[in-house]
Amino acid sequence: MDQTGDRLPIIFQQKKKDIWIVMAIGAAMLVVGTAMALDSAVLVSVFGLFRAPRSTIGWIVALAGVVIALAALDSIIRGLPRLELREEGIVLKKRFGGVTRIQWREVERVDVQRKFVPKTRGLGTEVFENVVITTTRGGKVAISEMAPAAEMRETIMRVRGIER
C-alpha cells in the first residue's frame, strides 16, 4: 500500500454492460442477416449504386454480426481493454495491438484530450474524452473507453507523484 492508501495495482477496465450491449448488437445482426439470407426476395438496391440479391446482403450482415459478437466475447473473456497502474509503471493491454508498458520515470505529462464531434441526431456536438500520456521520448499513448478521463488522469497523476 502506498502513502495515499491506494493498493497497487490499480486497474481500469471497460464496463461489462457496454460489452454485453455490443455483443447483443452483433447477435441481432447475425439473426437479421441470416433471415435475409434465407429469404428469396427480389434484388435490393444498395444506396442506388448497385443492386444485389437480398441473400447476398443478408450473408454480409450476418458475417459482420459474427465478427462483432466474437470481438465482444473475446473482450469479455480476456478482460480487455485494461489499464493497470503498477509499482513499476503503466501497463495498457489493448484488444488488438498487444501491450504497451511505460515506466513511471518515462511519463512526462498526462492530459485529458477532448474531441468535439457533430451529433448524429439534432444540432450541436458531442464531446469524447480520452487520456493522453506523453513520454520523455516524445511518444504519445491515448487511453479511452475504461473510465471517465478526468478520473483516470487524476489517479495516474496521484500514483505517478508517489512513484517518482
pLDDT in tens, 113-139: 988 888 877 788 888 889 999 999 989
Q: Are residues 73 and 123 in the same domain?
A: no
Q: Cell numbers 480476456 correspond to what residue?
A: 78
Which tens digit of pLDDT belongs to each residue from 151-160? 999 999 998 8
Q: Is the peptide bond prior to 148 cis by the omega test (within 30 degrees of 0)?
A: no
Q: Are residues 132 and 159 in the same domain?
A: yes
pTM, to two decimals: 0.69
Determine the Cα–Cα distance for residues 105 and 88; give it in Å rounded to an integer.
9
> Could you tell me the CATH number of the domain that includes residue 97?
2.30.29
How many other C-beta atoms are found inside a 10 Å radius of the C-beta of residue 130? 17
Q: Based on the structure, what is the number of domains in the chain?
A: 2
The parent domain of residue 97 ranges over 81-163
